[in-house]
Structure 1
Amino acid sequence: MNLIFRLIYTFLISRFRSKVGALEECRTPYRCWPTDCDVLGHINNGVYFSMQDLARIDYMIRMGAAPKFSANGWYPVVAAERMRFKKSIKPFQKFQISTRLAHWDDKYTYIEHKFLVKGEPVAWGMIRARFLKKSGGLVSTEELLGVLGIPLQKPEMPAHLKAWAEAEDRHIEAVLPTKS
């Protein structure tokens, strides 16, 4: 983890921040440090993904899910992710990451991240995740939603998310075909 001090800070501070519901937006504040930047003087593209990891940890702690997942021996893994950039975040600039559960299906959860500077979106990320059991195997969406207290009835998948998910499925099958 290249952001170890932020990770430790997240574990210490998130318990004292306001609670959020599983279907609510969770905003996590940050500041861009020079060590986050590349030679062009803005946040390095790879750092965005690491910052999203931290924001998801904050989200899981603040919604009270982290101890439930731990008690069940579950842990999340990212299956796919994407990032879109609109404007740069510069050194010492304050920003927030808005994190929310955007959708779920029978196999994956989809988490959306928006990077906000003064309330304006400057970057957008989406992950597709699964939960695994330390004892082996997958956590079903039904099990996951049950622990989070979310009704099983899933909302209609937004068209942009559906297009991305289908493209991911086609791509993975093309590069890593399943054996017949």
Structure 2
Amino acid sequence: MNLYFRLFWLFIWRIKHCNNIGFLDTSTIKFRALPSDCDVNFHLTNSRYAAFMDLARTYMMAEMGLLKKFIKLKWMPIVNASEFTYIRDIKPLERFWIESKIVGWDEKYFYLEQRFMTKRGLHAIAHVRGVFIHKRKQVPLDELLTTVGFDEEQPILPPEMQQWIEFLKVKKEQNI
């Protein structure tokens, strides 16, 4: 239930007062780990990381000035794959922030990195692969880039992202 409140707060307040960032810039949003976000081990439960990442990606689109445009176009973001590396736990009532950025794309997907941070340092890194869907069809990446006004050189995906993409291809091939 508290994530609904956070989503409501995001749309009503935070988006109206967010920064303006470029398409490849890093977005940062702050949260506090409430007791209801934590599990019996007294730390942020694993399932909350993905939920907070959804909110952070929504906020990132708002900071880029794209959220209203995508809603108007009826483009829906869809996560195709994600992977998490947990480094240290986030304690109850601890303030943390999520740094989100687009690290690149290929012919079909775009790729993001999201980092969970506190004053104590890095807590988790997650990679996300996604697409935008409109009327049950994928929005072509060239159309997406034109719509967002991105006409710079495409960034080179980091080596760890390239390895993850290869791993996802192998998983798919072995399970068809």
Question: Contact between 1:145 and 1:152, CA under 8 Å: does it hold in 2?
Answer: no
Instruction: Give TM-score scaled by structure 1 length.
Output: 0.92
In the TM superposition, 1:133-152 aligns within 5 A as 133=134, 135-151=135-151
Q: Give 2:22's aligned residue.
A: 21
Q: Give 1:112's aligned residue.
A: 113
Instruction: Give TM-score scaled by structure 2 length.
Output: 0.94
> Over aligned residues, Cα RMSD in angstroms?
1.5
Q: What is the rounded CA distance, in whole Å, between the counterparts of 1:153 and 1:64 in structure 2?
A: 20
Shift of 1:164: 0.1
Q: What is the rounded CA distance, in whole Å, between the counterparts of 1:114 and 1:154 in structure 2?
A: 22
In the TM superposition, 1:11-160 aligns within 5 A as 11-12=11-12, 13-118=14-119, 120-133=121-134, 135-151=135-151, 153-160=153-160
**Total equivalences in the alignment:** 175
- Gaps of at least 5 residues in structure 1 are none
Shift of 1:155: 2.0
CA offset digits 1:23-49 (Å, max 9, x no partner):
110100000000110100000011101
Q: What is the rounded CA distance, in whole Å, between the counterparts of 1:91 and 1:169 in structure 2?
A: 38
Moved more, 84-93 or 69-78: 69-78
Q: What is the rounded CA distance, in whole Å, between the counterparts of 1:119 and 1:24 in structure 2?
A: 23
- Gaps of at least 5 residues in structure 2 are none
SS at 2:114 equivalent: strand
Shift of 1:119: 6.9
What is the identity, as a one-letter code, of the residue corresponding to 2:112?
A: I
